[in-house]
Amino acid sequence: MSVLVSVVIPVYNSQSYISDCINSVLAQTYPHFEVIAIDDGSTDSSVDILKSFQKSQNIKLLQIENSGQSVARNLGIEHAKGKYLIFIDSDDCWKNNTLNVVVSLAEKKQLDMVLFDGESFVDDKIIDEQTTELLSAYLTKGFKPDTYVRNAPEEVFNGGDFLAHQMDNNKFIASPVLYLYKLEKFRNIRFVPSIIHEDNAFTMELLVKNGKVMATPNNLYRRRIRQNSIMTSPKTMRNVNGHLAVLKRMAEVFCETEDADIKSTINRVMRMTLANCARCLKQIDGDLS
């Protein structure tokens, strides 16, 4: 098994974390991968750190003006040459066997998409005790212990049925860092550019294209809970606009789809997205009071 995997890493002001991220990729027990790092207009030393890795490692570095994570990921997709593509965020890490597990399963079962689980941890680089306590409280109250655990049967689904199953169990996990997918099958699918919450439309669209998908219960991803991230920051109209843009893309996919069951599932995801948008508005209203 020597198929190439494209690893896409969007980077923005990640000087404190990018070395951990890159090292976790380079430490993979599966050796056949390319790394495509897209610097999204960082103003810190992220680019210098990436260039230091380039001296000894085969890492492709692309640089763009600050345009948002979705634009950076789309650029990574365009430059990818692998049979499979997988994302990792620049402040997160992989387990050493992440690629080996997902590629082996994809090849053995001839899958178009392999989904896996993750775990969250509080930023271990913070030395301020008060901030650490706040993030620990967020991890306890803002996340359930199984936030990134799908509890899906270990069987092959078509993507639409898998999405319906996950919606039935309130376990639709949109995060694109928690799956590997076959590039050629989904090459034309892109993130809605220059918004947040773009993950929801992208992941939904991958699944409703009805590839062969399977989830593994292996916990292969470590997501860092840190200060000033999209997850931990207060909700603003940027969140609302992101949800509305995602809803528009979902509506387009709905109209492009002829299968009534798929339409019904997309409708459910849209209603969930609308509810998330309403919760953002409610929090914004509370912050104004």
Confidence bin at 2 (pLDDT 50/70/90): confident
Helix (H, G, I), strand (E, B) or coil at 36: strand
Tell me the residue range of the domain where 263 lies.
5-288
pLDDT tens figures, 176-212: 999 999 999 999 999 999 999 999 999 999 999 999 9
pLDDT score of 32 more than 70: yes
Question: What is the pLDDT of the chain when averaged over all its residues?
Answer: 92
Q: Is residue 216 within 8 Å of residue 105, measured between CB atoms?
A: yes
Helix (H, G, I), strand (E, B) or coil at 249: helix
pLDDT score of 245 more than 70: yes
Confidence (pLDDT) at 7: 98
Helix (H, G, I), strand (E, B) or coil at 179: strand
Question: What is the Cα–Cα distance from 71 to 66, expressed in whole angstroms?
Answer: 9
Question: What is the Cα–Cα distance from 90 to 193, expressed in whole angstroms?
Answer: 19
Question: What is the Cα–Cα distance from 36 to 68, expressed in whole angstroms?
Answer: 16
Name the residue with higher pLDDT: 225 or 201: 201
Q: Is residue 70 within 8 Å of residue 194, measured between CB atoms?
A: yes
pLDDT score of 56 more than 90: no
Count of CB atoms within 10 A of residue 9's CB?
Answer: 27
Residues 6+ apart with CB under 8 A from 127: none
pLDDT score of 274 more than 90: yes
pLDDT score of 229 more than 90: no
Question: What is the Cα–Cα distance from 50 to 37, expressed in whole angstroms?
Answer: 8
Q: What's the total number of domains in the chain?
A: 1
pLDDT score of 237 more than 70: yes
pLDDT tens figures, 70-98: 999 999 999 999 999 999 999 999 999 99
Q: Minimal CA–CA distance to 102: which of 20, 188, 210, 30?
A: 30
Q: Is residue 189 within 8 Å of residue 210, measured between CB atoms?
A: no
What the block records as the tokens of 206 is 């991958």
CA trace torsion 143, 148, 149, 152 (10° rounding): 130
CA distances 255 to 126, 145, 162, 170, 259, Å, are 47, 36, 20, 24, 10
Confidence (pLDDT) at 87: 98
Q: Is residue 70 within 8 Å of residue 191, measured between CB atoms?
A: yes
Confidence (pLDDT) at 39: 98
Confidence (pLDDT) at 285: 84
Confidence bin at 288 (pLDDT 50/70/90): confident
Q: Is residue 187 within 8 Å of residue 89, measured between CB atoms?
A: no
* CATH label of the domain that carries residue 247: 3.90.550.10
Confidence (pLDDT) at 123: 72
pTM, to two decimals: 0.92
pLDDT tens figures, 120-166: 887 767 656 666 566 666 666 656 667 889 999 999 999 999 999 99
Confidence (pLDDT) at 276: 93
Confidence (pLDDT) at 122: 78
Mean predicted confidence (pLDDT) in 254-260: 96
Confidence (pLDDT) at 121: 83
